Amino acid sequence: MPEKNIYTEIDVPIKPISIILYFRISVLIILIFIFALNLFAIEINRAEIIGSSVDLDIAESLIDIKGDFSEQDIEAIGIKITNEYHAKGYTTSYVEKLAVNKDGVLKIHVKESRILAINVSGAKGKEKEEVESLFKSFIGNVYNRYLLEKRAETVKYEYNLSAVKIYPVNYKDTSDVFLSVMVEKKTKGNFYGGIGFEPIYGITPMLGYYHPFADSAVDIYSRVGYKDDKVRRAEGDVKYFLFTNNSAGAIYIGANISMFVEQWESRDKEYERKSLSPVLGYRYMYKYLILDLYFSETASNIEDYKDNDKTFRDYDSRLTLDLGFSNKVNLLSKKDSTDIKLSVSSGKSDLNEKVYLISSAEGKSAASLSTNLRIIPRLYSYYTTSNERYFWQYVYDKRLLGFFNKYTASKWKNTAEMAIEYEIIPQFIYAGPFVNYGYFLDEFDKWTSKAGGGVKSTIELKNAYIEIYYAWDLSKGPSEGGLAVLAGGRF
């Protein structure tokens, strides 16, 4: 018996859904969606930004915020505020939490990332302290990349550095940051030099080169003086500095080779000396102070010093202590600085029977009488126990101008200068009168006083300066005067 087919195949024609039905379904879906949205919409009456201390553009537009917002809308507000923080340089600050209370107040909790501490690496000692001081004012402030980068540029320029890198590091588990400032020193050297006219040695060009390494540096310079068709001075100097752990100090070793043609006033003749002088020293800098302690051993050939056509060989061992003070680093106007230098040295040489002592003191300051007028006093004193002309100092040098072609040397000299400087063209040309006075023991061992004076003009260029003096003996007149020029620069 055949199996009974319980299914009957019926052909049912499938009718296409009409466009109207499609439309109805779409409308229904939209209505359901809108209904669902309304179910999850949040009513906001106003917004409050909590924990923000910086000016935000968005803050103003949030004052009048009102209406129904979806979660996505509210999140978008948070993202917008975070973006604004970042755009303004506050790259570590962000919106931490968004909450709407039952009164419809949207509370936007901002987490501002503050700088809690700063550490400077790559610099040591005084330099480290100074760099730290330039960043210290940021402690407690909200981290701002732009402001810090700007300050880093200042530090880079001020300290002649290769780079100043700033890294914000999360402070423990907080959102605040610990600022790591990494200083990279320049490995490129600088040439410096100048040309001047010295009353004693004539036209004197000078050229130097300073090359820094990671923890050391080399300083080389040479100088030549030319007057009356003769080289009267030739000098070469090299020093290698090895910075000690805190970088405030440096041990240095070097050598100086020199030739000088000197003039006796009392004997009306010249003598010449050629010297080689190795030196070992230690330099220490602390805030405004520089201390320099060095030992030198000098071997010299001295010709025609006492007896004509005779050469005397002198060996000199000397210990010197220099102490300098200058507030120049801290000032914006270097012309207003106060500089003091004290020096004392003692040694033994073949020319002296006993141990000799040399001391000197120099000071300069400036006081503004008005914006474009300042008064500049200078004092200098030199004394040595040695009775040898060889150890004495010329009197009529740049500290006592107005007495050209005079060569008396002194074992004890004191000079004072008072200059008035008027700024003729701002930041460019300065000029004014000066008087200098000297009270000294001359080569004949006689106390003498002399007063000179004149006019000084200074031209300041980008990295260079030119000083022009016209000076004369005040007991005579300007017609008896002479010209002195000094120029210098760093390039």
Site residues, another protein (CB under 8 A): 55, 57, 87-89, 129-130, 133-134, 136-137, 139, 144, 146-147, 150-151, 153-154, 157-158, 329-333, 368-372, 425-428, 461-462
Nearer to another protein, 238 or 464 (CB): 464
245 CB neighbour count, 10 Å cutoff: 9
Per DSSP, the residues of 229-255 read TEEEEEEEEEEEEEE-TTSSEEEEEEE
- Which single residue is written with the structure tokens 């060009």? 205
| Diameter over CA atoms, the chain | 160
Least Å from the CB of residue 51 to another protein: 18
Q: How far is the CB of 374 from another protein (least distance, A)?
A: 11
For another protein, the closer of residues 32 and 329 by Cβ is 329
d(CA 436, CA 453): 6
How many Cα atoms are found within 13 Å in the side-chain-facing hemisphere of 312? 17
Residue number, 258 or 327, with CB nearest to another protein: 327
Complex with another protein: residue 143 or 472, whichever CB lies closer: 143
The SS3 call for residue 135 is helix
Nearest approach, Cβ of residue 144 and another protein (Å)? 7
Query: Residue 155 or 471: which CB sits closer to another protein?
Result: 155
In 26-93, DSSP assigns E strands to: 42-44, 46-50, 67-69
Length of the chain: 491
Q: How far is the CB of 427 from another protein (least distance, A)?
A: 5
Q: Shortest gap between Cβ of 152 and another protein (angstroms)?
A: 8
Amino acid at 446: K
Q: Which residues are within 8 A (CB) of 32 and not within 5 positions of it... i.e. 6 or more apart?
A: none
- Which residues have C-beta within 8 Å of that of residue 5, sequence separation ≥ 6? none
Identify which of residues 139 and 214 has a Cβ nearer to another protein in the complex.
139
- In the structure encoding, which two tokens stand for residue 255, read together? 């050598």
477 exposure class (CB count in 10 Å sphere: 0-12, 13-18, 19+): exposed
Closest CA to 433 of 389, 390, 375: 375
Minimum CB separation from another protein for residue 132, in Å? 8
- Count the Cβ atoms, other than its own, within 10 Å of residue 398: 19
Q: Closer to another protein by CB, 56 or 451: give it.
A: 56
CA 155 to chain centre: 7
The SS3 of residue 388 is coil
| Alpha-carbon distances of 269 from 177, 260, 263, 266, 303, rounded to whole Å | 73, 14, 6, 8, 12
Minimum CB separation from another protein for residue 91, in Å?
A: 13
Q: Which is nearer to another protein, 216 or 365 (CB)?
A: 365
Give dist(CA 97, CA 208) in Å, integer: 62
Q: How far is the CB of 187 from another protein (least distance, A)?
A: 20
**Burial label, 36 (beta-carbon count in 10 A; 0-12, 13-18, 19+):** exposed
CB of 159 to another protein, least distance (A): 11
**Closer Cβ to another protein, 255 or 431, answer by number:** 431
Q: How many CA atoms lie within 13 A of 404 on its CB side?
A: 17
CA-CA distance, 62 to 48, in Å (whole number)?
Answer: 8
**Phi-psi label, residue 173: left if phi above 0, alpha if psi -120 to 50, beta otherwise:** alpha
Nearer to another protein, 289 or 461 (CB): 461
Q: Which is nearer to another protein, 70 or 137 (CB)?
A: 137
In the complex, what is the shortest distance from the CB of residue 425 to another protein, in angstroms, rounded to a whole number? 8
Query: Does residue 150 sit in helix, strand or coil?
Result: helix
**Contact, 256 vs 236, CB < 8 A?**
yes
Of the pair 56, 474, the CB lying nearest another protein is at 56
Q: How far is the CB of 27 from another protein (least distance, A)?
A: 42
Smallest separation, CB 147 to another protein (Å):
5
